Structure formats: C-alpha cells, structure tokens
C-alpha cells in the first residue's frame, strides 16, 4: 500500500501517519511543499523512534506521484468530503495509492475535476468540516489492509 500526503502542514499529523505506515509496512509519500522540515522535532516526537522503519519518499508534485502510480498500474483513490463512494465501498489492492489533501484546503481542484470516479469519502455528521488527517489515514489504510487479510501483520 501507498499513503500519499499532498502538501502536509502539521508535523504531529505527519508523524502519526509515519508511525502508522511503519507499523503496517506501508510506503509514505510526501508531496512538497511541506509545512515543516522533515527533521522537525514535533514530527519526530509523534513518530518516536519508528522513523528508521518508515519507507519515505518525497515528491515535487502530485502529478509526479500520479505518473509513478500509473506506470506501476496501480489504482489511485483520493480522500475528500466530496467523494461519492465511501471508503468501505472500494475493493483495495496491495499496490493502491491512497491520497489525502492538506489539512487546511484538502486536495487541489484539478483532482475533483479529473478523477471524479476515484473520489472517496469517510462518512461523518454535518457539523464538522473534516476528520483529523491522521485518523482519516488510519481508517482508510486499515480498511484496505483488512480486505487483504492484514498481509504481513500479526
């Protein structure tokens, strides 16, 4: 599995996501610009001593990540409140890319316009604008892993 964070801004969120990726053997992709330095103390604190286990790649653009996914023949799913499918409706594959927007503004407009069939949402009540990014990633990733019988996990 691949988790992609588009222009993440909050170090503890990314640190928590990195820890989840390390615990599950999931590749973490960060799309620049980042709202922090990779060596940010808050980022490292959230990831604790697990950073050495994170398979981390940084990218200059979302288009770069999408080109890699396409070359690999992987599915891409974009998590947004505008999704028409719920995250549990998707039949995930091990090479899929789960893509999440930045905490303040989400994914870029071209994603909603170009990838309409790949927009996925996590249901929630009308009061909140969004769920916390690290919680959203954990929900989506563990659903994908559950469908695959948690490969390599005990």
Per-residue pLDDT tens for 124-134? 998 988 899 99
CB 12 within 8 A of CB 42: yes
- Domain-located, residue 100: yes
Per-residue pLDDT tens for 1-23? 999 999 999 988 998 999 999 99
Task: State the binding site for S-adenosyl-L-methionine.
Answer: 101, 122, 130
pLDDT band at 151 (very low <50, low <70, confident <90, very high): very high
Per-residue pLDDT tens for 24-57? 999 999 999 999 888 756 666 665 678 889 999 9
- Domain-located, residue 34: yes
Range of the domain at 27: 2-147
> What pTM did the predictor assign?
0.94
Task: State the binding site.
Answer: 101, 122, 130
- Domain-located, residue 39: yes
CATH classification of the domain holding 70: 3.40.1280.10
Beta-strand ranges (E) seen in the chain are 2-6, 27-31, 55-59, 76-79, 85-86, 97-100, 119-121
Q: CB-based contacts of 138: which residues, under 8 Å, 6+ apart?
A: 17, 20
- Domain-located, residue 116: yes
Number of domains the chain is built from: 1
- Domain-located, residue 58: yes
């Amino acid at each position: 599995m691949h988790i992609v964070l588009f222009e993440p801004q909050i170090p503890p969120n990314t640190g928590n996501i990195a820890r989840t990726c390390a615990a599950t053997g999931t590749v973490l992709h960060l799309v620049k610009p980042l709202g922090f330095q990779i060596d940010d103390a808050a980022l490292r604190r959230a990831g604790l001593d697990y950073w050495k286990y994170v398979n981390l790649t940084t990218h200059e653009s979302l288009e770069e990540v999408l080109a890699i996914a396409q070359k690999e023949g992987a599915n891409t799913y974009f998590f947004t409140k505008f999704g028409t499918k719920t995250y549990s409706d998707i039949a995930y594959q091990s090479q899929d890319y789960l893509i999440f927007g930045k905490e303040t503004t989400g994914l870029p407009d071209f994603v909603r316009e170009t990838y309409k069939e790949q927009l996925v949402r996590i249901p929630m009540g009308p009061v909140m604008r969004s769920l916390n990014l690290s919680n959203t990633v954990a929900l989506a990733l563990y659903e994908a892993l559950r469908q695959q019988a948690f490969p390599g996990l005990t």
